[in-house]
Amino acid sequence: MIRWAAVLAGALAGTQASPAADCRLALVLAMDVSSSVDAGEDALQRAGLARALLAPEVAAAFLHPPQPVALAVFEWSGRDNQKLLLDWTLIRERADLEQASRALAGSTRSTDQFPTALGHAVGYAAILLQSAPPCIAQTIDVSGDGRNNEGFTPRQAYAHFPFDGVTVNGLAIETAGNSGASETFGDAVMAEYYREHLLLGPNAFVQEAGGFADFERAMRRKLLRELGGAALSRMEQRP
């Protein structure tokens, strides 16, 4: 926790509030590459995310006027294993989405050896938001197929990292390895786990994916809800 506290202190020391918003939403996408995700599953989610960004309805939601969306993407696994795949990019036109999609499609997995440090992933995302352009709303979008099994929990991260006004949503990937594995959670084990342990904010939600082959469809639905819901409503309510 000492290392993370030092990183957080440095990030906050270099952050200055801006009175004007450059965008309507700062959106962080966090993709699970822990050891429970095999090479084929990783390829499905990496390509699925790249394609989801270019889906016509998703592109239209990103490009909704008048202000753009700021997008950043990273992959995560163990407590010290996060890799930035796309640094903050303002999505002003389709060419920006196409560039982001190419970067993600061409990215390579940093590791496949580490456990699932979900709390560290959201902590990293909170720090990443400190360097985002000033936006009206901030959302962290975490996808994964396993429960936290290393380091501090998301709830502990929420108590010690800057999450004021931040929404955390989940994309729960239901697989043979987690679905039905618990009498407590039943068939939708990951969705229920995310609802109890991950979600943050009054409008937070979980989108379910029926395995990694369903990742692209689930991500498209999730992005549409994030881009067309709370963020736009807040923008329209501003004087």
Q: Please write the tens of the pLDDT for every residue from 187-210.
A: 578 999 999 999 999 899 999 999
pTM value is: 0.85
End-to-end CA distance of the chain: give it in Å, rounded.
41
DSSP 62: H
In a domain, 198, yes or no: no
Other CB atoms within 10 A of residue 2 CB: 6
The number of residues in the chain equals 239
Lowest average pLDDT, out of 9-13, 52-56, 88-92, 178-182, goes to 9-13
Is residue 15 assigned to a domain?
Answer: no
Q: What is the CATH number of the domain that holds 179?
A: 3.40.50.410
Residue 66 has pLDDT above 90, yes or no: no
Provide the CA 214 distance to its chain's centre, in angstroms: 17
Q: Is residue 13 part of a domain?
A: no
Cβ atoms of residues 74 and 30 within 8 Å: yes
pLDDT-derived band at 182, boundaries 50, 70, 90 = very low
11 within a domain of the structure (yes/no): no
Q: What is the mean pLDDT of residues 26-40?
A: 95
What is the DSSP pairing of strand 82-91 with strand 166-173?
unpaired
The answer to whether residue 214 is domain-embedded is yes
Domain of 104 in residue numbering reads as: 35-162+169-186+204-237
> Count of CB atoms within 10 A of residue 188's CB?
18
